[in-house]
Structure formats: C-alpha cells, structure tokens
Amino acid sequence: MTRPDKSGEAGAQRGGFLPSIQGLRGLAALTVVFAHLYAMPMLAGFLPALPLWVQRTFETGGHGVELFFMISGFLIPASLMRHGQVSKFMYDRCLRILPVFVVLHLIVFTLGPIVGYKFFKGIDLGTYVELFLVNLVFLPDALGLPIAQQNAWTLSYEWAFYIWFAAIFLARRAGSRLAIVSVALIAVAAVAYRPNTAFFGIGILCGMASLRLPLRGISGSIAAVACFVLMFGLLEYVSVWLALIPGIALFAMALTPDSWFAGLARLRSLQYVGKISYSLYLVHPFVLFPLQVIGRKLFDLGVNAWVLWCGFALIGAALSLAASALSYELIEVRLRTAVDRLLARRDVVEGEEVQQRA
C-alpha cells in the first residue's frame, strides 16, 4: 500500500466528494437488495430448489452493511472536522438520516396493525407505544425488542458511531486524556458486543493513514474481485476478524483514483444507485413485502416456483429502484430542504426575539 501525493485526492481527504465512494455506496445497497431477493421468497416458501453454491452466494449479500460501516468510518471524522462544531455536525446528520427513516417509521406504525405486519398482530396499546418510541430512537436492537424497519438496525450503530466520534472530538479539544481513554474503551466494548462494527475502524484507518492500493488492469480486477469475495465469504462463514484483512485492501483500492476497482465504482449506473442508496437500503423491504405476500398466495394456488421467484426478483428490483428514486427526490431532497429552511427561519425569528428582549 502507498501514500498518495496526488493533489486530486486532497479534497477527498478533507471530506470532499469522492466518486468511488459514491459508487461503493451503490454496490453496498445492491448487495443487500440481492440478498433479500433470495431471503424473502425463501421465508415465504416459494423459492425453487437452487444449487448450494447459488444459495451461499445469495446468503453473503447482506454484508453490504459492512461496506457502509467502512464508508462512515472514512467520511464522518472528516465531516465533523469540517463542521467544526458538534451541534452543526449532528444537525447535518439528522437532516441526512431522519427524513426517510421517520416517513417509513410512520408508514409502518400506521399500516402495520391494519395488515398484521410482523409483531403488530394482536399487539396491545402499551406495547405499541413502547415499540413506536423505541424504534423511533434506534434502540430496539440494543434493548432486544422487535425492530419495525427491517434494515434500520444498522442505523443504531451509525448513530452510536456519530456520538462516539463526537465525544472523541470534544475530549481532544478539552485536552482530557482520561476522557479520550474512556471513550476508546467504550469503542472496545461496542466491538466486543457487535464485532462487525470493527469495519468502522477500516474507514478511520484508511482516512488517517492515507492507505491506498493502486492495482490496475487484470491484476487489479482479480485482486478486487478476490478481496470482495473473501471479505463477504469470511464474514458469513468464518470470522469477522479475518474479513477485516480483505476489507482493508478492498477499501484502499476504492480510495485509489486510478485503481481498477475505483474505476468500476465510477460507472455512471453505480454513481446513480449510490446517490439513491440510502433510500434504496431502507425502502426496498417495503416494496418487496407485498410481492412476498402475493408470491406465497400464488404458490399455494399452484403457480410454478421458478416463475414466481423470477417474477419476484425482476419486478421487485425494478420497483425498488423506482420507489427509491422517488423517495430520494421527494424526501431526501425536497422534504429535507423544506425542513432545513423551516428550522433556519425559526432560528432567525428566535434570534430576533432575543435581541428585542435585550
């Protein structure tokens, strides 16, 4: 691995836009969708008999979440440094994460009891309110309670990482070594509880040490594919800790502008999927769930499993991308902008009121 001296990477090191990271987001989201195109028909009972190696390939797809962890580990420290204040940083994170999540949260808790989704069957009012609040603040996984949004468990650890790094930031500013050590020990405990959160550390390491791996051409493509397969396979079937090794190499290649893997990540299609990846990650289970229910009913009526699965995969993938594009435009862009403007106006009004009182 090498340390780059190219001026073009300076912006990325300071937290600027890096196209390969955008493409890596898209790849991460697609692998999760890929896994659910297999898992949901399997749970519903209309998945046809598949060769073992095909099943194993699908089963590893859910580990795209570790790619998201690496990306956050790389970008969040730079984002906090760029904002300069924890309050501004957390405000930006709230605007980024909450709009889509909250809209989907309200949909789940409105329609869930009506359609009998998951834990809503026979739920009492007290439990409903408890689960509504616990899921709203990203704590179901930590408290061992049912999770409403299928993929939102990762947001609990995203928020924990935001808070943890903000604490490190404040401790360093205060010059408190005891506080820094204490927060560091919290990270150790978190990794012990959820080992795959160690992948946040890969992003931090590659950002701080400027690790890059400029592998091009055939050797670069072979190395990238090998690292990708090894990372996902080791995560699913062997060890999180061993998976960190190909994970570091893969991410270092993604950060190297002239590597083969970075070139792949810069493909226009992956760039667009990366742009809508957050919506795609959260929205696609909502799209696939009704198709899952329909598929099960058609299977009970005698429709061929291969026809159902192929239809589920093709229609589900297309509708997921369409719904995510709509979510991105309406919620991530327009609603987020509207909320930001509304809060900005309130700050101005409150500031004027304070001045008038003074």
pLDDT on residue 118: 83
User: What is the tally of structural domains in the chain?
Assistant: 1
Backbone phi, psi, residue 55, to 5°: -60, -45
pLDDT of residue 326: 98
Evaluate if residue 355 carries a pLDDT over 60.
no
The answer to whether residue 81 is domain-embedded is yes
* Max Cα-Cα span within the chain: 76
In a domain? residue 6 = no
Average pLDDT over residues 320-334: 97
- What pLDDT is recorded for position 351? 55
pLDDT band of residue 254 (cuts 50, 70, 90) is: very high
Q: Is residue 342 assigned to a domain?
A: yes
pLDDT score recorded for residue 348: 53
**Amino acid 236: pLDDT:** 93
For residue 122, give every residue at least 6 positions away whose Cβ sits within 8 Å of its Cβ, in sequence order, or none: none
Q: How many angstroms separate the Cα of 133 from the Cα of each of 100, 105, 109, 112, 144? A: 17, 10, 11, 15, 14
* Residue 26 predicted with pLDDT over 70: yes
User: For a pLDDT cut of 90, what percent of the chain falls above it?
Assistant: 77
Taking the C-alpha atoms of residue 246 and residue 202, their distance in angstroms, rounded to an integer, is: 11
Cβ proximity of 261 and 306 under 8 Å = no
Model confidence pLDDT, tens digit, residues 272-300: 999 999 999 999 999 999 999 999 999 99
| Average predicted confidence (pLDDT) for the chain | 90
Which whole number is the average pLDDT over 199-206? 94
Q: Which domain holds residue 257?
A: 16-357
Residue 188 lies in a domain: yes
In a domain, 4, yes or no: no
- Return left, alpha or beta for 20; rule: phi > 0 is left, psi -120 to 50 is alpha, else beta: alpha
Q: pLDDT class for 219, splitting at 50, 70, 90?
A: very high
300 in a structural domain: yes
Question: Tokens 């435009």 identify what position?
Answer: 329
Around Cβ 53, how many Cβ atoms within 10 Å? 7
Question: pLDDT by residue (tens digit) across 52-92?
Answer: 999 999 989 889 999 999 999 999 999 999 999 999 999 99
Q: Please state the rounded mean pLDDT for residues 236-251.
A: 96
Asked, for residue 194, whether it belongs to a domain, the answer is yes
Domain annotation covers residue 7: no
Identify the CA nearest to 107 among candidates 289, 264, 356: 289
Is the pLDDT confidence value at 9 over 60?
A: no
Residue 108 CA: distances (Å) to CA of 29, 111, 278, 293, 335: 21, 5, 18, 16, 19
Residue-level pLDDT at 8: 40
Q: Per residue in 132-156, pLDDT tens?
A: 999 999 999 888 899 999 899 999 9
Q: Is the pLDDT of residue 7 over 50?
A: no
Find the mean pLDDT for residues 9-35. 80
